[in-house]
A and B are shown apart, each in its own frame.
Chain A
Amino acid sequence: MAPHASINTQDIADKARRDLLQLLEGVRGKKNLVIEKALAGPVGLFVKFSTLQEYGVDRVFFLENDNVDSSQRNVIFLSRAEKAKQAQSIAGQIKRLRRTGSTDHEFSVFWVPRRTLVCDQILEEAGVLGEVNALEFPVYFVPLEKDVLSLELDDSFSDLYLRKDPASMFLAARALMLLQQSHGLFPRILGKGDNAKRLADLLTRMRSEQDVTSSADSSAGSIPSRLGLTPSMAIDSLIIIDREIDLPTVLLTQLTYEGLIDEVFTVQNNQAEVDSSIVGAPPSQNTSSSSKDASQPSKTSALKRKIQLDSSDKLYAQLRDTNFAIVGGLLSKVARRLQADYESRHKANQTTSELRDFVAKLPGYQAEQASLKVHTSLAEEIMKHTRSDLFSRVLEVQQNLAAGSDPSIMHDNIEELIARDCPLTAVLRLLCLESCIANGLRPKDLDIFKRSILHAYGHQHLLTFAALEKIGLLTARTTSAAGYLLPTAGSGGGAAGGGPRVTNYNAVRKTLKLIVDEVNESDPNDIAYVFSGYAPLSVRLVQAVIQKTALAQSSSATRGLAATAPPASAAGTASQGWTGFESALASIRGATVDETQVGSSKDAMRARSVLAGGGGAGQEKTTVVFFLGGVTFAEIAALRFVAAREEGRRRIVVATTGIVAGDRVVGAAIEKRGFGAS
């Protein structure tokens, strides 16, 4: 009798699909759908284009293209509502259609995930609010995998850290509240980073407000959920990781298969667009996803092929989280097995029943074979990339910086990369990495690098530097920040703010054992395998909560801790919070969050604990790890590795504002325009 079901991502996808289809059904007859580009991908994750067609969608346009026509009377806009830009675009297009179109259009706007006052105001100012049927499409988390939930906010990183616009934090808080409403309160909220603190505060605030809202909304007929006010039985804690506290992990090149696909081809909404010369033309029946935009058969679709990357592809599920070094071996093993299976038909053609069994398996073989073909070509292409001189140079610099060797040795290398016109993102990643780990570059070095980059890539990157500095990725080491050598000074000064301003990597590297020298890539024994020797700080923090003993044992510097920390039983760990790793946390920048959420009614709590008393201990608990500002595939792989170790006792669900990779993080700052004429 557990009132809170554990998180099932499929349910979330189902609900989103139902909601959307219901909204579409509300608009009678055929309709044209105008969708914001950034939403097309997430929507594609839970509903197929053919299904939309069944619900009367005639053609799909992109909002950004501004090309919707009057072919249908009903026009539906599907757009996010947090930014003014989309609303202005919608208002403009409605006005255009009204002016030029001969038909009397019916306009509907589905705001995702909520209707905002600002968008109403903009439509009103444009004089179109009166004829727009505005509805909400409340989709927050979109499941990417069984254990990965994402808000799929592409701009969340730049919004949060460059523009300091907390809109995505608010949406994240809403999304987490929804989780709490259906699964119960997170019994404990842990987190690291100033924004994590803000998010946790927002959650607390929303919870206190929940009372009022839920009962105020009950006029609409929904009964206020009383379940939402008691701590969950299925979830044991929420761990919020602010991206800001662990930027180096993003900047390093990911070395898992999935991570490298992302680095080389970019994965968006579980899809990678790959040149068809690499993977071959798409099979003929694959028209559903690629012809999203039916109105303009884009030329790119002829050259690019979209490859679905998720666990429905069994082979990919095996490969995705492994270190790329062993992918080749795994692929050839699978190839040999397939070969053998296929050969077995010669032996098996004796009796008809054996033959029938074989034929029944055939479709499976074919799918597997197709997937093998795709992944072999992908791996080959990535191999080309990893074998290149530039790649190994970059990797060398990265590994050295991460390991904490004197950065100035690497400077010549970086200078050379600049002179060789290596992609700007790669160079900036290296410089930012150095700056993050060493808390800024020496002002003199910084100026030299800036000059070389301006010379090599153009002076417009003065703006890039300004942005990078604002994010805190690339800074000059100031005299006050040099106090990182004395962590006490940092933490003392930041005591009011709740944590030091900068991370002392020298200390953290030891206490959390970020560098693992012997990594076994084929049979990993530590999360460090995802970066071939570097363990992501963010995941180490998660381990500090749920795998204390494992971490303490592997960490030589905290050898004493294994004795002091009580033996970690499955039920006990979560309630300990950060215990045992306070000193490590103190040397990481930003505030530390540790809150316990108790239900509003004590009696219910007691009753619940009595009920759960017997069977509760052996139950599998879920830990939600929320990455504010984005997560990399390598980190997901590392967390899956952690979860595999905890199998049976604990599930880890990764939630995030979006998937990030180094190129995109740095790219958020890069000025795209040049001084050219056009």
Chain B
Amino acid sequence: MSKPTADWERVGDRFYRKIQLYTAVFDQDLELENYVVVGAPYSGAVAIYRDEDKLQAYRGTQAAKSSIDLYSCAGKLIRRINWDKGSIRGLGWSEDEKLLVVTNDGVVRCYYDLQGDFIPFTLGHGSEEHGVKACRFWSSGFVALLGNNQLVSVSRYDEPRPKLLATPPADEIVSWALIPPAYTLSRSVEVLLAIGQTIHVVDASECEDRMLQNGPFKHISVSPNGKFVALYTDDAKVWVISSDFQNRLSEYDSKVKTPPKDMQWCGNNSVVLAWEDEVHMVGPNGAASKYYYNSWVHLIADFDGIRLLTNDVCEFLQKVPDVTEETFRLGSTSPASVLLDAVDQLEKKSPKADDNIQLIRPNLDEAVDICVKAAGHEYNIHWQKQLLKAASFGKSVLDLYNSDDFVDMCENLRVLNAVRFYEIGLPLSYEQYLRLTPESLVQRLLNRCEYLLALRVSEYLRLPTNKIYVHWASQKVRISNEDEESICRLIVQKLKGKRGISFGEIARAAYDEGRGRLATELLNYEPQAGKQVPLLLNMEEDSIALDKAIESGDTDLVFHVLLHLKKKLPLASLFRTINSRPMAVALVESSAMDQDWELLKDLYYQDDRRLDGSNLLLAEALAQTETTPKIEKLRMAAKLLQDSRENAFQVKAIDEEQRLLRMQDAFDKDLADQHNRFAGLSVNETMFRLIKMGSAKRAQRVVSEFKVPEKTYWWVRLRALVAKRDWHELEELSKTRKSAIGWEPFFEEILGAGNAKLASTFIPKCTTLPPAERIEMWVKCGLLVRAGEEALKAKDMNSLEVLRTKATGSAVHEIDRLMAQLAPNKR
């Protein structure tokens, strides 16, 4: 077995390694130099299409048909997307392996799986007129450069919102790059434009000139962590500066006359320049290393390294991870490397194994950790095993060791080796795997229709498998030629008893494929009512959709269906549909009450709900400002109810209101008072105001017109007079023989208004009350002597004594006198 260090190379003081991932990648006939090649992040798929700017040999009509071809890293064709939609100005990938294709006319097609299905959207912002010149992508978005130098950014693909960035100068742009929003201070994407001698930084709000003099810069590249920028100057030098343009970190002179065709970062610490068949790797401090190929080479940058792609090989170039360097570097005496050696000795049954262990005893746990980690970074299965063996040996010596990391690493490596296999072609590095997450890895396998492996991986890592089944079934529905019944049977049979299967999604796939009946059948297996609704609406199964929405209890869904129906159906059939469904009726009523009374009227009319209809007219009458239309509406409201007996009360009341309004109108004319209009007052309030204004006669007219009960009238009169403080009139009233409400209220109200003297005149009239209360009433008026007299009449000694304590001044004597009057009688 060759040593792992065989493919290492020293650049400056660091080691870099170039791992050969796959050989015989592309067909030898494929002229890679004429193709644009872009690779998805995290060792994802590679998309290639023929570069339109380059000449190509004429090979008859068949080959001239252009296409975008998706390959795995091992050169396996995943999908060929035939292309006839115009000139491609941007091709890129998102983190979750969505392929974005931007055409000249500003249309973006987002291919969300690797199977050729796409969602289009347009960039807008003048992209149609000016055309798209180029695009730069980051993990979840991209920026398009338009013909007029405007920049449009899209930061998400699920709900794309193209936004115009600040306007840069109109001069020619030599090269450009972007800093992803996650790494900028403003949290908005920043674009670096090389214009003339300098670089402009453009974000959402402003465009700033960085005032450099050494341009024009042929290439700009931003490091994966957004901290550094590499610039390729006109005089063949590479500069590495910090992305805030404050520090120049290193400089490298390539001494090559022709500018490179590409410059990319390899990890965060070196820059790779590519000419047609030559690659320079520039490490820190300008140290460099050169690689030569015998065919055209393409660069595909990833966050922890760079993939180099030629017709023959796919290689991964990265800085040797620290743990690996520590373990394998020639002459290394680190504990990990000693431990690795110990395992070697152990296999040779040499006692040196134990010597080694004793040597590193104090650092053994560290050595084990490092061996585990180094195994993760290793591509070669032999060395993975060797390192894990070493770790296992080491931890058997340790008394206490938490093996979780070791176990996890074994599991992860098994998964990694499985997906690195050339038929799958996902050469993930360990770091990439951690960042990608196992769930996304499974998703990538699904996109490649590798169901068995996806299932195995999910089960092995204890991830949910339901999505895999759903994806499989959807795909089955799309491509299967069998008749619908047997497909349905097959799917149901396979997925029966599996938890969390969304049949709605499968049905949606069937429907999209035009298999309506199959979709309906599958939908019956969907447990979530809500999930069925959108598809049912698409399938025009409106009433079923409504039922399912109601079943789900989600009012939003019901509303959604109702809005849909309202747009689609004539009113009459809408009402017929909702009629038998009380919840739907309630929701329509409730929302129409806020927005659309006409609809409500129609609804009530259709359902013959006269009382509701009449009430609606009543509400409309309330909304009117003038008296005449008010009365008109009321008349209509009453008319609606006229022929039904049970609403007689309602009709009468509405009638009354009309008369009241007319009457008030008359009052308003007679007693012209702009600020206090009668219109709108109630019957009692009208009387109240009339009395208060001293117009008792008119009040009497109201009484007779509306047959106001006597008691009510007395109360209103009393309150109005008190409010008016018309003591004279009240005194007159006190002379009447009888009051419909008794005299006590008079006492209370007048006293409450502060006129104790007048109030007291009503006390003797309250003959029905017990003496004790009358005594209390006198006291409230402050007339203790009268209270005493009352007590004397009632022969209530106790009250007198109480009064005696309250009394002051002459009243004391008076009460004494009264007590004396009472006392002898008692004796």
Contact = CB atoms under 8 A, between A and B. Distances in A.
B177 to A, nearest CB: 22
Interface stretch (A235-243, A460-468, A619-627): A460-468
Interface in A101-135: 114, 116-118, 121, 130-131, 133-134
Contacts of B245: none
A530 B679 CA distance: 44
A208 B594 CA distance: 35
Nearest to A171: B555
A130 B586 CA distance: 32
A673 B622 contact: yes
B201 to A, nearest CB: 17
Interface residues of B, number: 77
A163 B590 contact: yes
Given A209-B528, A456-B684, A458-B685, 9 more contacts: A82-B555, A82-B556, A116-B556, A118-B559, A169-B553, A460-B618, A462-B618, A671-B619, A675-B622
A170 B554 contact: yes
A440 to B, nearest CB: 15
B contact patch SS:
helix
B560 A121 contact: yes
B187 to A, nearest CB: 5
A149 B535 CA distance: 37
Contacts of A159: 590
Nearest to A114: B556
A172 B186 CA distance: 39
11 contacts: A85-B594, A117-B556, A164-B590, A165-B587, A215-B467, A389-B748, A419-B684, A420-B719, A459-B657, A674-B680, A676-B681
A340 interface: no
B712 A419 contact: yes
A421 to B, nearest CB: 7
A671 B679 CA distance: 17
Contacts of A166: 553, 555, 583, 586
B187 A214 contact: no
A28 interface: yes
A121 B563 contact: yes
Contacts of B712: 415, 418-419, 452, 455-456
Contacts of B291: none
B769 interface: no
A676 to B, nearest CB: 3
A215 B464 contact: yes
B621 interface: yes
A133 B160 CA distance: 10
Given A117-B560, A173-B553, A462 B650 contact: yes
B619 A463 contact: yes
A28 B163 CA distance: 15
Given A165-B555, A420-B719, A459 B679 contact: no
A421 B187 contact: no
A461 B618 CA distance: 10
B278 to A, nearest CB: 43
B656 A216 contact: no
B514 interface: no
Nearest to A158: B590
Interface string B678-693: 0111111100000000
Contacts of A213: 528
Interface string B709-744: 101100110010000000000000000000001000
B660 A673 contact: no
A451 interface: yes
B660 A163 contact: no
B557 interface: yes
B682 A455 contact: yes
A450 interface: yes
A583 B161 CA distance: 62
Given A213-B528, A463-B615, A118 B556 contact: yes
Given A85-B594, A462-B650, A170 B615 contact: no
Interface stretch (A218-226, A314-322, A399-407): A218-226
B683 A205 contact: no
Contacts of A198: 553
Contacts, number: 186
A258 B256 CA distance: 86
Interface residues of A, number: 67
A208 B553 contact: no
A202 B554 CA distance: 10
A612 interface: no
Contacts of A676: 677, 679-681
Interface stretch (B234-242, B246-254, B497-505, B772-780): B497-505
Contacts of A451: 653
Contacts of A673: 619, 622-623
Interface of B: 159, 161, 186-188, 437, 439, 443, 464, 466-467, 499-502, 527-531, 551-557, 559-560, 563, 582-583, 586-587, 589-591, 593-595, 611-612, 615, 618-619, 621-623, 625-626, 630, 649-650, 653-654, 656-657, 660-661, 677, 679-685, 706, 708-709, 711-712, 715-716, 719, 741, 748
A117 B622 contact: no
A677 B554 contact: no
Contact of B654 (A211, A214, A216, A462): A462
A416 interface: yes
A675 B466 contact: no
Nearest to B661: A675
A53 B431 CA distance: 40
Contacts of B586: 163-166
A518 interface: no
A459 B464 contact: no
A167 B583 CA distance: 11
A419 B716 contact: yes
Nearest to B708: A455
A495 interface: no
A454 interface: yes
Given A421-B684, A454-B653, A209 B679 contact: no
B113 to A, nearest CB: 13
Interface in A572-608: none
A555 to B, nearest CB: 37
Interface in A661-678: 671, 673-678
B682 A212 contact: no
B175 to A, nearest CB: 28
Contacts of A164: 582-583, 586, 590
Contact of B500 (A82, A117, A215, A419): A215
Contacts of B437: 221
Contacts of B502: 212, 216
A84 interface: yes
A264 B709 CA distance: 32
Contacts of B612: 466
B127 to A, nearest CB: 15
A669 to B, nearest CB: 12
B656 A454 contact: yes
Contacts of A459: 653-654, 656-657, 660, 682
A164 B585 CA distance: 9
Contacts of A84: 559, 591, 594-595
A421 B723 CA distance: 13
Contacts of B188: 28
B560 A118 contact: yes
Contacts of B711: 415-416, 419
A558 to B, nearest CB: 37
Nearest to A460: B622
A358 interface: no
Contacts of B615: 462-463, 466
A341 interface: no
Contacts of A421: 684, 719
A447 interface: yes
A534 to B, nearest CB: 28
A421 B595 CA distance: 34
Closest 9 CB pairs of A and B: A676-B680, A164-B586, A419-B715, A215-B500, A459-B657, A455-B683, A458-B682, A163-B590, A116-B556
A457 interface: yes
